[in-house]
Structure 1
Amino acid sequence: MSDTDRVRHDRVTEVRNLLEEMALDSGMTEGSFSSLGMLITDSSLAADEPALRAAHDGLRRLYGKVTRPGEDGHEDAKTMEQRGRLLGLIDVTFWSLRRLPSELQLNLDPHGHAARFLTEIAAEPGLSNAQLSERLGVDITEVSRVGRKLLASGVAWKSRQWRYNCWNITPRGAAYLEQAGLAGRGPAAK
């Protein structure tokens, strides 16, 4: 088992254990919601589909348990708060699963602008639109268009330094490059 597979397996186990603990009557504490939120964030950034699926399915089961009315048929404030938190985490896992590269079907052409854009920023983080335009041999408008697509896919992110965009790859983007066999194809690999 590779290190990446081991980390993913450990994350899934941790998610399941935390959800089991939360299923107990006294298990839905502030700390358990925070811990699960951090695990979901890590899973989303690492494009860890098994952990996100385990979290999503477990949260839905937990929500079903919490939405059952009490003996008197009324909800107390604590139950309403727990239900709201669970719904929020269910939404986060749902949208994280939808943003996974496999779900987005990026299927980048290894010689296309998007794949070359990603490999360039993986090899040299912080490249500007102008630098990418020069390296890819395309117009700045094309760099902006491709960058917006990659940003929306969650595989690249940009920051502003002075008046310029600086592009970096996300952990999800690095995982996508590795899965697609494109890792190490930037200028550093030449």
Structure 2
Amino acid sequence: MSAMTDSARDRRTEVRRLIDSMEHAKIISDGHFSALGMLITDASLSADEPALVECQDGLQWLHRHYLDVNALDGAQREQRGRILGLIDVVHWALKRLPSGLQLALQPDGHAARFMLAVFRRQGLSNQQLAAELGTDETEISRVGRKLLSAGVVWRRKEWRQNAWDLTPRGRHYLETSGLLPADADIDADIDADAGPGRRAEPARAAETASRSPDGVPRHTDTSRPTRPTRSGEPPRPAQG
């Protein structure tokens, strides 16, 4: 948890340093806007409210420099427009934070159990979640829309079914809200072949025991008897 706190503190410091640099620059460069845009994105995904508040205050301070200018030239009008655009982005990022939406979930409620189920196994469908929570798919859709609007889950399509994943913001909310059980494996290995955020499943015993040197499972058909062969040849299955 300390690493996350240090990261958030560094992000807030970087926002402050960047805003100060933009304030004293004669012309705010594209590099300034790009760097600030990336910081806003990172802070939003990480639910880093202090960094977003720092950014909002700094951008509003920058915008004040354009209020007392009677006639702005073309470059100044463009800079003011980009600053106003970023202020809007930060405003909505703060509104979508779990704290800003007052997302206080009851541990035994459907919303909290929905998030915990997806934390344990990402990519669950509406039908699977309904079975997990002991409810119907209509309730799952309703709860899913609420969590989706809070930015703590995201929804994708797998063929004709919804598949639900936990966002970084949702993971952060579970870690800081006390909803995770004490023995939850937060740093569980991720299966790179299973898609983003999915946890690795243990390999089947038969495949683990029989793999070629290059890691490809050998498929041995033991249903057919083998017949003797001439010396030096491997046994071949008997023809059915």
| Selected match of 1:183 from 180, 184, 192 | 180
CA 161–184 in structure 1, closer or farther in 2 if over 3 Å, else same: farther
Match of 2:139 in 1: 142
| CA displacement at 1:187 relative to structure 2 | 9.3
Matched, 1:33 2:33: yes
CA 10–188 in structure 1, closer or farther in 2 if over 3 Å, else same: closer
Amino acid at match of 1:67: L
Match of 1:161 in 2: 158
SS at match of 2:156: strand
* Structure 2 residue ranges without an equivalent (≥5): 187-240
Please give the alpha-carbon distance, in whole angstroms, between the structure 2 residues aligned to 1:74 and 1:27: 16
1:106-125 map, 5 Å: 106-125=103-122
Please give the alpha-carbon distance, in whole angstroms, between the structure 1 residues aligned to 2:115 and 2:6: 26
Amino acid at match of 1:151: L
TM-score by length of 2: 0.74
Amino acid at match of 2:107: P
Shift >6 Å, 4+ stretches = 185-189
Greater Rg over alpha carbons, structure? 2
Please give the alpha-carbon distance, in whole angstroms, between the structure 2 residues aligned to 1:173 and 1:64: 35
Bigger shift: residues 4-13 or 20-29:
20-29
Match of 1:98 in 2: 95
Please give the alpha-carbon distance, in whole angstroms, between the structure 2 residues aligned to 1:166 and 1:186: 26
Please give the alpha-carbon distance, in whole angstroms, between the structure 1 residues aligned to 2:94 and 2:168: 15
Matched, 1:77 2:74: yes
Amino acid at match of 2:45: L
Please give the alpha-carbon distance, in whole angstroms, between the structure 2 residues aligned to 1:113 and 1:151: 14
Please give the alpha-carbon distance, in whole angstroms, between the structure 1 residues aligned to 2:168 and 2:41: 12
Amino acid at match of 2:99: S
* Structure 1 residue ranges without an equivalent (≥5): none
Please give the alpha-carbon distance, in whole angstroms, between the structure 1 residues aligned to 2:42 and 2:91: 15
SS at match of 2:140: helix
CA 180–58 in structure 1, closer or farther in 2 if over 3 Å, else same: same
Amino acid at match of 1:96: A
CA deviation map 1:119-148 (0-9, x unaligned): 111111111111111111110000000000
| CA displacement at 1:66 relative to structure 2 | 2.9
Bigger shift: residues 21-30 or 57-66:
21-30
Bigger shift: residues 90-99 or 147-156:
90-99
| CA displacement at 1:95 relative to structure 2 | 1.1
| CA displacement at 1:104 relative to structure 2 | 1.1
Bigger shift: residues 26-35 or 15-24:
26-35
CA deviation map 1:144-164 (0-9, x unaligned): 000000000111110111111
The answer as to whether partners of 1:159 and 1:167 remain within 8 angstroms in 2 is: yes
Task: Report the RMSD for the aligned CA atoms in angstroms.
Answer: 1.9
Higher relative contact order (CA 8 A, sep 6+): 1
Instruction: Work out the percentage of aligned pairs sharing the same amino acid.
Output: 52
Bigger shift: residues 25-34 or 102-111:
25-34
The answer as to whether partners of 1:120 and 1:187 remain within 8 angstroms in 2 is: no
CA deviation map 1:45-87 (0-9, x unaligned): 1110100000000000001113331xxx311111111011000
